[in-house]
Structure 1
Amino acid sequence: MHRLGQVLIGMGLIGLLAAPAMTQARMDEAGFQSNVAAFESSHDSTALNKSPALDQFPAFVNLAQATQPHQADVETQVIEQRNKEIVQQYFDGWRDGTGSVFDLLAPNATWTITGTGETAGTYSRQALLDQVVSPTSARLSTPIVPTVRGIWADGDMVIVLWDGEATARDGRPYQNTYTWYFRMQDGKAVEAIAFLDMQVFNDLWTRVSPRN
């Protein structure tokens, strides 16, 4: 009995000594499994998609694309600038007395005079020259001299704001402000719309008789 007691006591001591080691082993194993689970979850596609840094990546891509000029926009700007320069050249020639702005019109162009009065309406190029331009010049003792305030382009449309000044055959000044819209094609205007003070223009036509 005495020897059996010693054996049981010894086994009890061994169990007590082994318990901390077994507990630590279980903790280490649990920690390893936890780390593995965390590692696997961090590589999960859903977790990656939820990463704030990756969420912002498409925004950076879109910003870069938005800041790059599109080829179509560049081509439009080139066309607009060329059309502005063409119209400016015709106005310069008209101002200097070396050309006519109406040479800007294509043969098949249409010209619309807005407002009311004898000359309001839409004309072909030749009809405009015969029925409006020539009769107006016949009522003036000096040609109209244009002063351009500004020229703008939007696509194939060129807008010109300008002042015209001349002297009528009765000695009174003729002064008017115009806004002309030109739709450009291949360096020529295929359509024009003219805004002006029709009251001033109509007064010139009714007050002054054209020279023969």
Structure 2
Amino acid sequence: MSIAEINTKVALSLLDAFTEGNVDRIVSLLADDATWWAAGSIPGVSGSRTKAEVATAVAGMADLSVTGTLPTTIHRTIAQGDLVAIEASTDARFTNGRAYQNQYMFLIRVRDGEIVEVKEYMDTELARATFLG
């Protein structure tokens, strides 16, 4: 198996953990020095976060979902070296009654089997309307 294939498997495990609602697994896939950046200017969502901040944010996201999960469908992946790009979508219902169906592009950097960087691009206006109403 090539390094790109191994890194793709690690990156896909992250999105599988969102589908499962497994916050501990999400956090365990991140290196201690990992950063997670999300597009836009949505308070509490956008910007750069440390691993500890991601753990808090992901737990809060799970609490918003009726099922405690964020079902994610993978549409395409491409990998080169330590970088994996994943096109995905979500389909969830939140406790505020809103449906959340967003499109994503994740750029994930993997080092030694751990995720060290996530860049998350999405429809930020949809996310803002869903989270902040």
Looking at structure 1, the residues matched to 78 and 4 of structure 2 have their Cα atoms a distance apart, in angstroms, of: 8
Structure 2: 5+ residue stretches without partners: none
User: What residue is the counterpart of 2:10 in the other structure?
Assistant: 86
1:197 paired with 2:123, answer: yes
Q: Residues 160 and 199 from structure 1, CA distance in 2 versus in 1: closer, same or farther, beyond 3 angstroms?
A: same
Residue 202 of structure 1 aligns to which amino acid in structure 2? R
Looking at structure 2, the residues matched to 186 and 122 of structure 1 have their Cα atoms a distance apart, in angstroms, of: 22
User: What residue is the counterpart of 1:14 in the other structure?
Assistant: none
State the identity %: 25
Structure 2 residue matching 1:162: 3-state secondary structure: strand
1:25-174 equivalent positions in 2, closer than 5 A: 78-96=2-20, 100-118=25-43, 119-130=45-56, 132-142=57-67, 143-174=69-100
Q: Between Structure 1 and Structure 2, how many residues are aligned?
A: 130
Q: Aligned-pair RMSD on alpha carbons?
A: 2.1
- Higher normalized contact order (CA 8 Å, seq sep 6+, divided by chain length): 2
* Greater share of residues in strand: 2
Task: Please give the TM-score of this superposition, normalised by the length of structure 1.
Answer: 0.55
1:179-194 equivalent positions in 2, closer than 5 A: 179-194=105-120
Looking at structure 2, the residues matched to 102 and 172 of structure 1 have their Cα atoms a distance apart, in angstroms, of: 26
Which protein has the larger Cα radius of gyration, Structure 1 or Structure 2?
Answer: 1
Task: Please give the TM-score of this superposition, normalised by the length of structure 2.
Answer: 0.84
Structure 1 residue matching 2:19: 3-state secondary structure: helix
Looking at structure 1, the residues matched to 61 and 17 of structure 2 have their Cα atoms a distance apart, in angstroms, of: 19
